[in-house]
């Protein structure tokens, strides 16, 4: 029985296999061909291929000895200055094995403290002949300017729908899973450009049967169908508060959604809805306020009910104006 995690099983082995980041890969291929790289800074949303690209680049540069000359560290585990002074410096000062230099891949580098980042910038200069750094982060603004200026910056975008759909179809064919277009669209919707989330959801749904359906995808990821969220908003705007509240109850009970999940999906649906721009502005402004209150620890049902009530009031005002 295959018990391997698909995210690892189908991780790209070379730069040519990385999906959905064509502009980034074209630039990196030039470095791989010349067998030389500067310090690199990868930034972008989670699940877009930053770690996979770093490992694929090391494979293309070093071939069979890539593991001897590559170390991956997660900065969110050890965030302080000691990890820079000891672990990173010790690896950086040792000579590479059958390669021109080593690579230190520092994942989630934006989690490093300011002191640790300040210490890191000097280390990057001192050992540049024997070691190159690849830093990965979700928010490039949290990396101090001196480090940014020492790196070539590569910005990763959410994986495009077409590229994700093509790769997911290949995985299904490889695993012998039957999947229809509706299920693929559901995977793309729930992922929001996060390829890792899409693959994990597909593997979870495949455990429920050889045929993956959209219902399985929404169920296993605790995500409501877009049309259900759309209906919830429509009911409230039409002034039917109790029907909207019942619809909200179904979402939270049947799908096991939290208040934050509902807020997140409401935001996506309002943005993509065919409302007037002025109405979208009003609804999103209030939604942001509710999200803040939930983050601060307010009761989620009271806050969500208050948002539905607000939609009812807005809907009635709009109807009177018409």
6-155 belongs to which homologous superfamily? Answer: P-loop containing nucleotide triphosphate hydrolases (3.40.50.300)
| Cβ neighbours for 61, distance < 8 A, ≥ 6 positions apart | 31, 32, 35, 37, 99, 103
Q: Which three-class secondary structure state does DSSP give residue 77?
A: coil
CA distance 239 to 122: 62
Q: Are 247 and 228 in contact (CB under 8 A)?
A: yes
Per-residue pLDDT of the chain (322 residues; tens, 9 = 90+): 456 889 888 999 999 999 989 999 999 999 999 999 999 999 999 999 999 999 999 999 999 999 999 988 887 666 667 767 777 888 888 888 888 999 999 998 888 888 888 888 888 888 888 899 999 999 999 999 999 999 999 999 999 999 999 999 999 999 889 998 999 999 999 998 899 999 999 999 988 888 999 999 998 888 899 999 999 999 999 999 999 999 999 888 888 888 999 999 999 999 988 888 999 999 999 999 999 999 999 999 999 999 999 999 999 988 887 6
CATH top class, domain 226-321: mainly alpha
What is the 3-state secondary structure of 251-264?
HHHHCCCCHHHHHH
Please report, for the chain, the start and end positions of each structural domain, with discontinuous segments joined by +.
Answer: 6-155, 161-220, 226-321
d(CA 124, CA 131): 8
Q: Which of 81, 25, 62, 47 is nearest to 187 (CA)?
A: 47
Q: If we measure between CA atoms, which residue out of 193, 197, 200 comes closest to residue 157?
A: 193
Burial of 214 (0-12, 13-18, 19+ CB in 10 A): buried
Contact 192/47 with Cβ under 8 angstroms? Answer: no
**Chosen CATH of 161-220 out of 1.10.8.60, 1.20.1090.10, 3.40.50.300, 1.10.1040.10:** 1.10.8.60
Distance CA 247, CA 181 (A): 27
């Amino acid at each position: 029985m295959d018990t391997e995690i698909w995210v690892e099983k189908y991780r790209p082995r070379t730069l040519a296999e990385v999906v959905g980041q064509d502009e980034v890969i074209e630039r990196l291929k030039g470095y791989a061909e010349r067998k030389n790289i500067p310090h690199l800074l990868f930034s972008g949303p989670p699940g877009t291929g930053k770690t996979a690209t770093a490992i694929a680049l090391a494979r293309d540069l070093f071939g069979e000895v890539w593991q001897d000359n590559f170390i991956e560290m997660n900065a969110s585990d050890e965030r302080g200055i000691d990890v820079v002074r000891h672990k990173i410096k010790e690896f950086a000062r040792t000579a590479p094995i059958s390669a021109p230099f080593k690579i230190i891949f520092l994942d989630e580098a934006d989690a490093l403290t300011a002191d640790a980042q300040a210490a890191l910038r000097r280390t990057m200069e001192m050992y540049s002949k024997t070691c190159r750094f690849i830093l990965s982060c979700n928010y490039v603004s949290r990396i101090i300017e001196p480090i940014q200026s020492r790196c070539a910056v590569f910005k990763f975008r959410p994986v495009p729908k077409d590229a994700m759909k093509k790769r997911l179809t290949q995985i299904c064919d490889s695993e012998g899973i039957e999947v229809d277009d509706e299920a693929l669209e559901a995977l793309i919707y729930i992922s929001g450009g996060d390829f890792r989330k899409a693959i994990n959801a597909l593997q979870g749904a495949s455990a429920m049967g050889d045929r993956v359906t959209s219902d399985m995808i929404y169920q296993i990821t605790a995500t409501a169908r877009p049309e259900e969220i759309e209906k919830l908003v429509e009911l409230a705007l039409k002034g039917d508060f109790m029907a909207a509240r019942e619809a909200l109850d179904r979402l939270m009970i049947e799908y096991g959604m939290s208040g934050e999940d509902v807020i997140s999906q409401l935001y996506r649906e309002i943005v993509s809805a065919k409302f007037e721009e002025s109405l979208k502005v009003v609804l999103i402004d209030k939604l942001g306020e509710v999200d803040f209150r939930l983050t601060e620890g307010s009761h989620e049902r009271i806050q969500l009910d208050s948002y539905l009530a607000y939609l009812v009031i807005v809907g009635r005002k709009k109807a009177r104006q018409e």
